[in-house]
Chains A and B, each alone.
Chain A
Amino acid sequence: MNSNLLNYVLQLADNGLIYGHRLSEWCGHGPILEVDMALSNIALDSIGAARSFYQYAASIEGNGKTEDSYPYLREVTDFKNALILELPNGGFADTIARSFFFDAFQFHFYTALCHSTDKQIAGIAEKSLKEVTYHLRFSSEWVIRLGDGTEESKQKIQAAIENIWTYPGELFEPSVEEKALMLEGIAPDITLLKSSWNDTVARTLEEATLQFPMSKADAWHHSGGKKGIHTEYLGFILAEMQHLQRVYPGCEW
């Protein structure tokens, strides 16, 4: 078994799952019906991509593992998702700021991942890229609409961007396992994606008439997700997500 590959695939899966889970919390609470449906749709896409990665992880690990083993039966420290994804949704502007930063990353990342020498990973990336393109368009449009909207909406989205600014930096830090896979062409070099991400973000923030915290662009950022060091929030997500399987192991309905 290639343990670097398993670690990497779980990293990609966990990002999809936790992002999708947070977005799904908006279902029934969206500010308007269309936004409610859009966020739920994006959550589904994201959890769908996570499933594909979990299925692949199960086939790599064997040992009786299934796609459900990973989301339902691992501990907080086993999860490898980026910290930005587990932060609480906050208000609508906070969710949009997070989505925008992450969607912009996913867009460039999946574009590169399509060239992975691992056929299964490349296939999932090719499929997801088409969906992520919609996600980025949705979150970018909302950043612009809020930024270029009323005094209040502008202030909210600007504050949301400043608040979350210390999180996306982690997305461009490869893990030890990832670095090994970069040499084999399985994982793209994410450090190279930073400048295209910066461009995408800067262009949209400018159109939104928002201040880009450029001075803070390369400042200190949170990290640890890939190593399993999480914020306190992930535990609460898992407590809810895993409750049933922990109390009634193997239960189906």
Chain B
Amino acid sequence: MVNKQTMHTEEDIWRILENVCDPEVPVLTIQDLGIIRKIKMQDSHSIEITITPTYSGCPAMNTISTQIRMELAAHGFTHITILEELSPAWTTDWMTEKGKEKLSAFGITPPQYTTKNNPREWDAIIPCPRCYSTKTELISQFGSTACKALYKCLDCLEPFDYFKCH
């Protein structure tokens, strides 16, 4: 029994999955978001990926699952299982520093706090992603997607999205 296909290492899989981005915030990969919890390879054809959904109703999750399947299929996997793990619940604390930098450059203010020390909104300092002013105000807890809140900069007067600390 000779298996001609080279066996991927777990590290390879992490690299492969770096091609999968959040369809709503395309600068972020699913690893930046901390969505992938576990990778379990049975053999060169079978793999099990455990992911955690961000928000319960996030429509991006279906697309993300499909994209994971497509990437893995392109690398020779024929038996792909995607498991959803709800607990511990996803938190922005799992977002990578690299992810936060990319968000900022994209014009979305990344989470400024960890869930452990997240102040109430009137005490939180949320800088404007354009002019970096900290004189900003909350317009709505619910922005263009469930994960974002809507703010307005009081200096440059531009509205902007804040990726909520969740």
User: Which of the 9-residue segments B39-47, B50-58, B68-76 touches chain A?
Assistant: B50-58
**Residues in A neighbouring B87, C-beta threshold 8 A:** 119, 122-123, 126-127
Sample (16) of A-B pairs whose CB atoms are under 8 Å apart: A34-B142, A37-B142, A41-B146, A44-B57, A45-B56, A45-B146, A48-B53, A48-B57, A49-B56, A51-B56, A123-B89, A124-B86, A127-B89, A127-B90, A134-B141, A137-B141
**Residues in B neighbouring A126, C-beta threshold 8 A:** 86-89
Nearest neighbor of B146 in chain A, beta-carbon distance: A41
| Contact, CB under 8 Å: B141 / A38 | yes
CA distance in complex: A38, B142 (Å): 5
Nearest neighbor of B121 in chain A, beta-carbon distance: A137
CA distance in complex: A130, B142 (Å): 14
Q: Which of A9-62 contact B (CB under 8 A)?
A: 20, 34-35, 37-38, 41-49, 51-52
By CB atoms of chain A within 10 A, which of B59, B85, B90, B146 has the most?
A: B146
Whole-angstrom distance between the Cβ of B109 and the nearest chain A Cβ:
18
Count of chain B residues with Cβ under 8 Å from any Cβ of A? 22
- Is the CB of A138 closer than 8 A to any CB of chain B? yes
- Is the CB of B95 closer than 8 A to any CB of chain A? no
Number of A-B residue pairs, CB cutoff 8 Å, is 72
| Contact, CB under 8 Å: A42 / B142 | yes
Whole-angstrom distance between the Cβ of A199 and the nearest chain B Cβ:
19
Whole-angstrom distance between the Cβ of B93 and the nearest chain A Cβ:
12
Other A-B contacts than A37-B142, A51-B57, A124-B56, 5 sampled, CB-CB below 8 A, are A34-B150, A38-B142, A48-B58, A127-B86, A131-B56
CA distance in complex: A206, B48 (Å): 53
With A34-B150, A38-B141, A38-B142 known to touch, is A45 a contact of B55 (CB < 8 Å)? Answer: yes
- Is the CB of A95 closer than 8 A to any CB of chain B? no
CA distance in complex: A130, B143 (Å): 16
CA distance in complex: A34, B90 (Å): 25
Q: Which of A106-137 contact B (CB under 8 A)?
A: 119-120, 122-124, 126-128, 130-131, 134, 137
Whole-angstrom distance between the Cβ of A51 and the nearest chain B Cβ:
7
With A34-B150, A119-B87 known to touch, is A127 a contact of B143 (CB < 8 Å)? Answer: no
Whole-angstrom distance between the Cβ of B147 and the nearest chain A Cβ:
10
